[in-house]
Structure 1
Amino acid sequence: MNLTTTKLNRFLFFKLPSAFLCGVRVKEIREDKCVVSVKHRWINQNPFNSMYFAVQAMAAELTTGALVIYQIQKSGQKISMLVANNKASFSKKATGRITFECQDGHLIAKAIQETIATGAGQTFWMKSIGVNEQGVVVSEMDFEWSVRIK
């Protein structure tokens, strides 16, 4: 199955409805990069008139998780995935359209190959950076993913 933006957004609707209702949408998915966008609106605001941190985290996690799904499908193996840890830093109020991008797709293939070869679980960190419409970084989030053969 070829992973596309349409399929990922349909997945959001059925499996992650809170992200879908908040406006999180996949804009681009490639082997090495994923882009997700979300617009600040009433449904995803905090009391300080900016985007709630959890909405930013949903969008950022999706950029990394979609890449993990992409590589798992490419491997043809049954592999489980789980966020083991995360870190975040917020540098500016998130208003307007925020675009998150992860370019760490290259990190996943090695971990998947290692877990297939050894049967042992593997972990790796991926970074997603959120920028506003002016190109200013509003948040950076790191997710530690764990993969292991089922």
Structure 2
Amino acid sequence: MLSPLTKANLYLKSFGFFKVPLIWICRPKILKLDRNSVEIKIPLKRKTKNHLNSMYFGVLAVGADVAGGFMAMSKAQERGEKVSLAFKAVEGQFLKRPEADVHFVCDDGPLIDKMLDETFETGERVNQAVKITAICPSLHGNEPMAEFMLTLSLKKMGG
């Protein structure tokens, strides 16, 4: 029997491969997924580095996208519902060069639950900003390398 985390990683890999190849190229791995938070790791490798040997900012955006979006998709699936998910806005603060594997942490599970409750109840699109923090635990512990605010947009699909 596969653990929930293993199943989540298999789903993420297949989603990346078939739907968003750039996600697949970045090789994100879900390290933690519970009701309140998600933690995704993207390895610093040749394909994810910039010319300064730190993580390319486009890859940082991919990590923030996966951390902010995966929890919403997972929570909708748990409820047996389908949701249309998009990001309507992004703000990013780049604080320090991430020169090792980067972990993307989103602790907005309760907010995402409220958003899902609202769209499943009303059928209307719901927009809220979720926070994702990028850290390099192997070099700097929990010190933020970058912080993102992504406006997550959810809408119940189907009838």
TM-score scaled to structure 2, two decimals? 0.84
3-state SS, counterpart of residue 37 of structure 1: strand
Answering whether residue 17 of structure 2 is matched by residue 10 of structure 1, we say no
The amino acid of 1:137's aligned partner reads P
Q: Rate the CA distance shift 1:41–1:101 in 2: closer, same or farther, 3 A.
A: same
What number of residue pairs does the alignment pair up?
Answer: 149
Asked if the contact 1:22/1:43 (under 8 Å) is kept, the reply is: yes
Answering whether residue 84 of structure 2 is matched by residue 80 of structure 1, we say yes
- Out of 39, 63, 67, the residue aligned to residue 63 of structure 1 is 67
> Could you tell me how far apart the structure 2 residues matched to 1:123 and 1:65 are?
13
Q: What's 2:24 paired with? A: 20
Deviation at 1:3, TM superposition (A): 8.7
After TM superposition, which residue ranges in structure 1, 4 or more long, deviate above 3 angstroms? none
Answering whether residue 146 of structure 2 is matched by residue 142 of structure 1, we say no
Structural RMSD (CA): 1.9
Asked if the contact 1:31/1:70 (under 8 Å) is kept, the reply is: no
Q: What's 1:100 paired with? A: 104
Asked if the contact 1:39/1:95 (under 8 Å) is kept, the reply is: no
Deviation at 1:13, TM superposition (A): 2.7
Structure 1, gaps ≥5 residues long: none
> Could you tell me how far apart the structure 2 residues matched to 1:68 and 1:120 are?
16
3-state SS, counterpart of residue 97 of structure 2: coil
* Per-residue CA distance 1:102-142 (angstroms, 9 max, x = gap): 10000011111111222211111111101112222111111
The amino acid of 1:35's aligned partner reads E
3-state SS, counterpart of residue 48 of structure 1: coil
> Could you tell me how far apart the structure 2 residues matched to 1:13 and 1:67 are?
15
> Could you tell me how far apart the structure 1 residues matched to 2:35 and 2:126 are?
19
Identity %, equivalent residues: 25
3-state SS, counterpart of residue 32 of structure 1: coil
TM-score scaled to structure 1, two decimals? 0.89
